[in-house]
C-alpha cells in the first residue's frame, strides 16, 4: 500500500544528493513541485515538517500553555481577596478559641469603639487585637467623700463609717480616686 509519493521520498532518503555538478538541483514529486535538495539538517527538518500532518491547536490551549503561571497567579489573588472579604464582612469568628457570640460583641460596643480607625476595627474583627475596655463609670467627681487614711478606702455620704474613722479627711471623689483610694462599697458614689 505504498504510493508513488512515499516511494519517491524513500528513494531520496536512501540516495543522498551528490556534490558537484552531477547533483540534481531538485527532484520533483508526484503532487506539486517541492525541492528535495537537503543541504543541511534544517532543510531536511523543514521538508519533514511539511509532510507531517498539521494540527492547529485552539486559541485557549495556546493561551493556557503560554500563560499558565499568570493564570494560576490571578486565581490565587482572587481567592485571597475573597477570603479577606469574607473575614471582614462576615459574623464568623476567626480565632481558634471559642470567642463571644455576635450578640455579645454588639452588647459591649461603646462610643470609644466607634471612634476607632478602620484598621483597628479590622484587627478587632479578625481577632488579632482586643477591643478597648469600655470606660469605667467613676461616679460624680464632685461628691464629697470621707477618706480613711489607714485602710485606703473612701466612704460615700450616708455610709455607716462616713466621717467616723480615726484618721480620715473629707475630699472630692476625683481626688480620692487620683490618690488611689478604693470605694469601701466597691462602687463609686453618685
pLDDT string in tens for the chain (190-residue length): 445 655 655 555 555 555 544 444 444 444 444 555 678 888 888 888 777 766 666 888 888 889 999 999 999 999 999 999 888 887 655 454 444 544 444 444 554 556 788 898 889 888 888 888 888 888 899 999 999 999 999 999 999 999 998 889 999 999 999 999 999 999 898 8
Q: Which residues contact 31 (CB under 8 A, 6 or more apart)?
A: 5
For strands 153-155 and 144-148, give the pairing: antiparallel
**Residue (of 123, 126, 118) closest to 99 by Cα position:** 126
User: Cell 466621717 sits at which residue?
Assistant: 163
Helix pair 59-89, 118-126: axis angle to 10 deg? 90
Within 13 A of 179's CA, how many CA atoms are on the CB side?
17
Domain residue ranges of the chain, discontinuous segments joined by +: 4-51, 91-126, 144-183
CA distance 80 to 101: 26
Amino acid at each position: 500500500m505504498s504510493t508513488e509519493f512515499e516511494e519517491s521520498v524513500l528513494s531520496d532518503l536512501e540516495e543522498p544528493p551528490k556534490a558537484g555538478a552531477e547533483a540534481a538541483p531538485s527532484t520533483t514529486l508526484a503532487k506539486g513541485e517541492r525541492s528535495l535538495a537537503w543541504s543541511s539538517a534544517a532543510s531536511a527538518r523543514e521538508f519533514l515538517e511539511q509532510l507531517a500532518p498539521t494540527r492547529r491547536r485552539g486559541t485557549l490551549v495556546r493561551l493556557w500553555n503560554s500563560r499558565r503561571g499568570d493564570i494560576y497567579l490571578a486565581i490565587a489573588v482572587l481567592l485571597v481577596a475573597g477570603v479577606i472579604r469574607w473575614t471582614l464582612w462576615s459574623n464568623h469568628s476567626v480565632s481558634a478559641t471559642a470567642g463571644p457570640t455576635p450578640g455579645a460583641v454588639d452588647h459591649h460596643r461603646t462610643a470609644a469603639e466607634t471612634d476607632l480607625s478602620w484598621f483597628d476595627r479590622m484587627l478587632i474583627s479578625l481577632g488579632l487585637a482586643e477591643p478597648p475596655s469600655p470606660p469605667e463609670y467613676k461616679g460624680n467627681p464632685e461628691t464629697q467623700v470621707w477618706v480613711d487614711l489607714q485602710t485606703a478606702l473612701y466612704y460615700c455620704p450616708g455610709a455607716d463609717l462616713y466621717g467616723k474613722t480615726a484618721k480620715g479627711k473629707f475630699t472630692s471623689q476625683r481626688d480620692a480616686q487620683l490618690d488611689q483610694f478604693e470605694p469601701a462599697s466597691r462602687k463609686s458614689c453618685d
